[in-house]
Amino acid sequence: MTDLTRNFVKAKRPCAEGFRWFLRTHQAGGDYQPVLDALVRDGRVDDACWLLDQFGPTDAVLAVDAIEAEAVVFAGRLDVRGPIEVDSIVRAGRSIRAGGGIRAGRAIVAGEDLHAGGAIRSAGTLEVGGDISTACGIEVDGALRCGGKMRVEWDLACGGPLVLADAVRIGGALEARDTIACGKSLHVGGRIESIGDVRVAHGIEAGDAIRCEAHLEAGWGIRARGPIVAGGAIRAGESLLAEDEIRAGDGYGVYAGLVVRREAWEASAQVRARVHPERLMSGWWAGDGPG
């Protein structure tokens, strides 16, 4: 029995050209993964991704030594002992696990977790429904979306919006050429640099400077071993601690202790920096030093 019949596919409202391809190549229907493979072989990678969107993941496992291809669209789990190198898209309905690095010319997409023993590089986007972990760094030219936790041993560079649902730990630097949004805490071993807003639901900690060209906001505290500089406002729900200056953009203020009761400011709404910040609108000035 085939998984995909003519009527089953037609009910999903495919594009006319894609449906004609299906009727021409699988007139009697076809099994799900072989149809995905045939679409990729014929250069119809977007149609393969559409089909995966419509019919969802499977429990199948593809275990191989390495992958080097134009594209890969697999409905189950990819388990690769070495590297993954694709010219356009590598996509799995469930997790992607690689013992080496992962490189794609257009997109890397995993419905669940993504784990790599080497660097992750996408000239387009990176989208993962679960956790991301790599023993090296991540470089993405477009948007990066992670639905779970993230752990990166080296640097993370992102050219589009960086959307992180859970806690993040980065061993090196974080560079974003767009906005950063994090649903929990953001811990970075080096500097944090962003062209857009940085908004973190919990706390921010950086081993070097924090610099953003727009607003900087954390629901809890912000701590940096260098300066904290923003082009807009700086807002922290609790303490704001820097080993250098704290400076908001022209016309904007610096706010600490926004979620702290007034009687607890001395302990939980501290502001420490090399010099008193200009336009410190709220918080307990505790003097020079990180505290």
pLDDT digits (tens, 9 = 90+) for 226-272: 999 999 999 999 999 999 999 999 999 999 999 999 999 999 999 99
Largest CA distance in the chain: 77
166-191: average pLDDT: 98
Residue 11: what pLDDT? 87
Lookup: tokens for 80:
């690769």
DSSP assignment string, 74-90: ESSEEEESS-EEESSEE
| Residue 19 Rama label (left phi>0; alpha psi -120 to 50; beta) | alpha
Residue 291: what pLDDT? 47
Name which of 13-27, 160-174, 203-217, 219-233 the model is least confident about: 13-27
Q: Rounded to whole angstroms, how far apart are CA atoms 69 and 103?
A: 11
Q: What angle do CA 206, 252, 255 make, to 5 degrees?
A: 55
In this predicted structure, the answer to whether residue 10 has a pLDDT above a threshold of 90 is no
Residue 289: what pLDDT? 55
Q: Rounded to whole angstroms, how far apart are CA atoms 158 and 124?
A: 10
